[in-house]
Structures are given as structure tokens and as C-alpha cells.
Amino acid sequence: MMAKTFRAAITAHDSAELLSIRRGIEKEGLRVSSENHALSKKPHPTSLGSALTHRSITTDYSEALLEFITGVHQSPNAVLTELFDLHAYTAR
């Protein structure tokens, strides 16, 4: 639901000025334990990469804090698609 709302909001404005800019998204999110839904105390999974191994997924100041960084795109749909792909990759 939220993804549909976010996509609708970012693509609702189709003026030439807004469509001509290039944009990227940096999104941070906390990893939580599936058992008790508390902040994860496990190290950052190596399968998700790091600043040295994955250009788009890293941790910030905390092992529990994932940071997703998209490339720069002219199309709002392209940047959102990349962000959703990063989420899907980490959910595997």
C-alpha cells in the first residue's frame, strides 16, 4: 500500500520542469529480529554487501541500519524501480 502511494505521489506531477531533473534516492531502514521485532543485534549480513562490495547497499553508523542508494535517473519510475529491486534483493 505504501509503495503504491509513494509511487503515485512521485509520479503525479508531470510538468516538464519536474520531468527534466535527475534524481536518486537514499533510504535508510533498520533491520529487526523476526523473533521479537527488536533491533537486530546480528552483524550486517555479508550477503547484502558493504560499501566495499555492493555499490547500492551498505550500513551507515549502525550494523542494524541498512542504507539503500539508487543511481541517478531522469525517470521517477526508473529510480523507484531500482529502489524496489534493492528491497527485493535484501528480502531474499
Kindly list the domain boundaries of the chain, sorted by start residue. Answer: 2-91
Spell out, as residue ranges, where the chain has pLDDT lower than 70.
1-4, 6-7, 9-15, 17-18, 48-53, 60-61
pLDDT of residue 58: 81
Are 68 and 29 contacting, i.e. CB atoms less than 8 angstroms apart?
yes
Tell me: the pLDDT tens digits for 49-64? 665 567 888 876 677 7
pLDDT of amino acid 15: 65
Q: How many beta carbons lie within 10 A of that of residue 45, not counting itself?
A: 14
Contact 32, 7 (CB under 8 A): no
